Structure 1
Amino acid sequence: MPSLNITFTDEEHRELREAAERETVSLKTFVHDAVIAAASSRKRQVAEISKRVATVSAELNRRLA
């Protein structure tokens, strides 16, 4: 299974560790879930924006026809 080696400052690492403890999960699980959520969010945003652009384009194309 692929893995990443990510460098954090001491302060960033402390904040991540504390956040994981608040969620009662391991640091590895916390960071993994955060990255997957961020990637999914971006994918969803792109899909929503694409849908809006397609709607506007369709209306403009209809007017120009």
Structure 2
Amino acid sequence: MPGLSLTFTDDELQDLRESAEREGTSLRTFAHRAVMEAVTSRSYADVAAQVARKSAELNDRLA
């Protein structure tokens, strides 16, 4: 499976470890989930923006 290597400061890595521990998960799982949530939320934001543009165009035509 393809992988990704990331670099963090000591403080950032400690924050990540603590966050993963609070969620009761491994650092790897925590980091993977965080990245995928960022990807998913960006996709939703892009779709929402597109719908808003199309709705504005339609509302202008219907006015």
Answering whether residue 37 of structure 2 is matched by residue 37 of structure 1, we say yes
After TM superposition, which residue ranges in structure 1, 4 or more long, deviate above 2 angstroms?
none
> Aligned AA for 1:55?
S
1:1-65 equivalences in 2 (<5 Å): 1-60=1-60, 62=61
Q: In the TM superposition, what is the alpha-carbon distance from 1:59 to its structure 2 partner?
A: 3.0
Q: Distance in 1 between matches of 2:22 and 2:56?
A: 44
Kindly tell me the number of residue pairs found equivalent between the two proteins: 62
Distance in 2, Cα, partners of 1:44 & 1:8: 27
Q: Aligned to 1:8, what secondary structure does the other structure show?
A: coil
Gaps of 5+ in 2: none
The share of aligned pairs that are identical, in percent, is: 42
TM-score, scaled to structure 1: 0.89
